[in-house]
């Protein structure tokens, strides 16, 4: 495997030295897209948030700011990512407002109806089966809970198509594919939004 392929493959599960470098780029590299995605949460009231695939932790920090009364649980499949996210949000962790865990989105270690809001920024490309994982998200959401998905790729842009060939296990989905999987998983209201000038998308679902 070439060095370039090894590096970009770290987006899936950051590990080791290359994983640390990748995590160093994530917070700033995805910030504008994530902030745009969060604008679709206006009016959402929440006490318990779960940030799925938290990466280096910046988006968990922004959710803490957006919902100052809420507790944010951030999880990531990568142990290195969880460590980075905990360090990034150290003050909130120490204050009891944020919990950071290593975890698997296909088998979330939480009781049914634990959260008001679930978010997934730039991560579902790597989830092991959308319908199964979305059903698990639905399980841990409360009735009327909200699930926000935000991706840089709309599943059709050529840049993402190139990365699909480089990164093993990566799959870029169209809004229609995401919406269909959410409905099968038990979400009743699903709405997608496409950025006016970029291939960015958000999909907002209600349980």
What is the domain range of residue 198?
3-206
Cβ(74)–Cβ(89) below 8 Å: yes
pLDDT given for residue 43 in this prediction: 75
Do residues 117 and 62 make contact, with C-beta atoms less than 8 angstroms apart?
no
Of 81 and 51, the structure prediction assigns the larger pLDDT to 51
The stretch 22-33 carries a mean pLDDT of: 67
- pLDDT band at residue 21, thresholds of 50, 70 and 90? low
Q: In whole angstroms, what is the distance from residue 75 CA to residue 97 CA?
A: 14
Strand 189-194 with 201-206, pairing: antiparallel
Question: Is 166's pLDDT higher than 80?
Answer: no
Q: Output the average pLDDT for the chain.
A: 87
Which pLDDT does position 2 carry in this prediction?
Answer: 56
Answer whether residue 128 shows pLDDT above 50. Answer: yes
The number of beta carbons lying within 10 Å of the beta carbon of residue 8 is 17
Give this prediction's pTM.
0.89
Query: Which of the residue ranges 22-36, 120-134, 151-165, 189-203 would you say has the lowest mean pLDDT?
Result: 22-36
- Indicate the pLDDT class of residue 64, thresholds 50, 70 and 90: very high
Q: Is residue 199 within 8 Å of 152, Cβ to Cβ?
A: yes
Query: Which one of 39-53, 135-149, 165-179 scores highest in mean pLDDT?
Result: 135-149
Residue 10 has pLDDT above 90, yes or no: no
Number of domains into which the chain is organized: 1
CATH number for the domain spanning 119: value is 3.40.50.150
Using CA atoms, how far residue 38 sits from 16, 33, 85, 184, in Å, is: 30, 9, 18, 25
Helix (H) or strand (E) holding 190: strand 189-194
Helix (H, G, I), strand (E, B) or coil at 115: strand
**Tokens read off for 27:** 């917070």
Res. 13: pLDDT tops 60:
no
Q: How many angstroms separate the CA atoms of 148 and 201, rounded?
A: 10
- For 65-188, strand residue ranges (E) read 71-76, 98-102, 115-121, 141-151
pLDDT at 23: 55
**Which residue is associated with the tokens 């198509």?**
161
User: Which tokens sit at 63?
Assistant: 């959710």
């Amino acid at each position: 495997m070439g060095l370039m392929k090894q590096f970009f493959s770290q987006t899936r599960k950051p590990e080791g030295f290359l994983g640390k470098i990748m995590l160093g780029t994530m917070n700033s590299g995805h910030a504008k897209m994530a902030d745009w995605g969060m604008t679709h949460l206006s009016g959402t009231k929440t006490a318990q948030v779960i940030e799925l695939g938290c990466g280096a932790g910046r988006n968990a920090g922004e959710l803490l700011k957006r919902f100052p009364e809420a507790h944010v649980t951030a999880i990531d499949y990568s142990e290195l990512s969880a460590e980075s996210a905990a360090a990034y949000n150290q003050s909130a962790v120490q204050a009891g407002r944020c919990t950071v865990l290593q975890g698997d989105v296909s088998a979330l270690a939480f009781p049914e109806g634990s959260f008001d809001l679930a978010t997934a920024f730039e991560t579902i490309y790597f989830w092991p089966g959308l319908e199964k994982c979305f059903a698990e998200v639905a399980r841990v959401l409360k009735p009327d809970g909200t699930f926000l998905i935000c991706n840089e790729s709309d599943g059709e842009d050529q840049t993402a198509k190139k990365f699909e060939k480089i990164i093993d296990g990566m799959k870029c989905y169209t809004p229609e594919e995401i919406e269909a999987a959410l409905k099968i998983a038990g979400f009743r209201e699903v709405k997608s939004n496409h950025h006016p000038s970029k291939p960015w998308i958000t999909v907002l679902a209600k349980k």
